Structure 1
Amino acid sequence: MAEKRDFYEVLGISKGASDDEIKKAYRKKAMEFHPDRNTGDKAAEEKFKEVNEAYSVLSDPQKKDKYDRFGHAGVDPNAGFGGGGGFGGGFGGGFEDIFGDLFGGMFGGGSYNQAGSRRRNGPRKGQDLQKNITISFDEAAFGVKKKIEIYKYVACESCNGSGAESGSSKITCPKCNGLGEVRATQKTPFGQFTTAQTCDKCGGTGQVVEKPCHNCNGTGKVRKNVTISVDIPAGVDNDSVISIKGQGEPGSNGGLNGDLYVVISVLPHKLFKRKDTDLWIEIPITFNQAALGDELIVPTLKEKVSYKIPPGTQPETVFRLKGKGIKSLRSSKVGDLYVKVNLEVPTKLNSEQKKLIKKLGNSLNQESYVKKKGFTETMKELFK
């Protein structure tokens, strides 16, 4: 299978393009490769699919954001936690109306699937939803199960999503005879084309409800608060995205439900800083500990461990504790804990303490301070 091209490249625009520039580029490419203008041309048909897919992502702010951050993985239904997929396939959540919006129904239908065929009455995937949640540092490190509430459309229980009152049903729209669109022929600079407008009576479905449901007024769906359980795996970080299939809004005409994308924010820790799967911590030490060596008590995410620093430890020395970091989201690998020691100089000394420190200083010669000795010798060479 050929590698997918960058969506911005497909439309011939730069990554920072505005919404108007994206739409303008799409118009141009769609007209160039439209099946009605390239009958029997398989190459043009494939390019038309590619253009539609690119526009379905870049014209949607949420999908575009995921694509910009994660690339194709962000809009791949098989991408898992990396960036939340589920955008492929039939361009759910309203893509079917793109041609009607851009061309006023030109090219004989205004609604196409990836193959360029008309699908006004076909199943439509429901709207994808996004929910942002904040978790603690430890919850991100070890994983947690959360219950979230989201206010969304769900299938009406009274009519099971049909929109029809009990004992009633849907019938063929009398205005468009079930086509979902009203057609007309017009002449344009490109030749004579069949134009189509969405039927205003049935909304493009080709059917109308004979007796609307009393609970949802014939829409087949109602809004309500829904509680959803989310399993957050160990190793997530800021902007990790968890996709939950089918927890978006209901589809139309038998289409699948949309998906829910849970975007993670992680609160900072009081002691640790995170760099991918590694943890960093800074520990203050005294002059005595640095000069003579000592056994430090080092906190980790799970426990406290002891670590012996050698005599003569210099300020900002970094030690590594292997396997004491965070588990990788995509493998069994566990990161490391890096401990940076910072020398703390004592303050608020009394007179006796000052005398002792001065006495110690006088007892030490240049051989005790290797760096200072090297610096002094370099200074002498520079200012001979």
Structure 2
Amino acid sequence: MTSTANPDYWSLLGIRPDSDAAQLKRAFRREARRWHPDLNGNDPVAEERFKLVNEAYAVLNDPRRRDAWQRGTGVVEADDDPFTTGFPDFEDYLDVIFGRRERREDAAPEPASEPEVMPWQTGDSHVSSERPVAAPAPPPPVLAVEDLESVVELTPDQALLGTQVELTLGDGTLIQLDTPPFAGDGWRLRLEGVAPGGRDHFLQLRVITEDGLRVDGLRVHYKLELFPPDAALGCAVDVPTLDGPVTLQVPPGSSSGRLLRLRGRGLSMEDQLGDQLVEVVVVIPSDLGEDERALYRRLQELALESEIQ
């Protein structure tokens, strides 16, 4: 089975293409809080995903840039970059994006909004620009002391349906708890006051298959590593899914961070069906031969010549 795709900022924010400005803003706030680096100290991919969320909002919130993206003529560059001096505090970051200047303590709290869950999408699995079924947002990230954190591995079905977990603490205390349904890899559950001295213990869920498929609610995530020639020219590659491998056609000019969607290749629950998101990661071989180095040097020269012209 062969598929094609284009980047989808709507899917990245988990909303429909016909969403209004208020829905776009709420979705951006939800995803920005979820992936902000200050709130994900133990997640190595949070910084990259946070930048993608910011890029998606910058494009969709600007009619000129959104029109250019939808017509496939490229994305107009933003006038400024809030990350040139690092990542600001989350609330300060929202002040910059939304143009707010009021004092933080005077601002009225915004009511929480539930993530949207779309109806079941039927049909053969293929990459599409339609948004995938949005998984429930994970619990807010928490900071944990290393010796008060345990890792529990779950199967995709256990994460989806919830399961009972037994945990033995350092002092021999046996804890039994039920994990929530629609859980995902990297979720942290706080067990309040169960550790010695009345401290909290943290339970980190790990939901990753042997093929490297990460489960998050109904969604499945997969990192596809490509060599520069394959990413630049496009290629057909076999990608693992929960139901077996499928052939994915990677479009030419795919940079690291590009998301391709395999529709219907996630988990299912009653009338809901999740999707699989494939993230392109361009890697450079560490053992380049002399001929390969010569080709890269020539590419570098061509790039410099193009800039001069």
Give the structure-2-normalised TM-score.
0.35
Structure ID, larger Rg: 1
Q: Which has the higher contact order (CA 8 A, sep 6+)?
A: 2
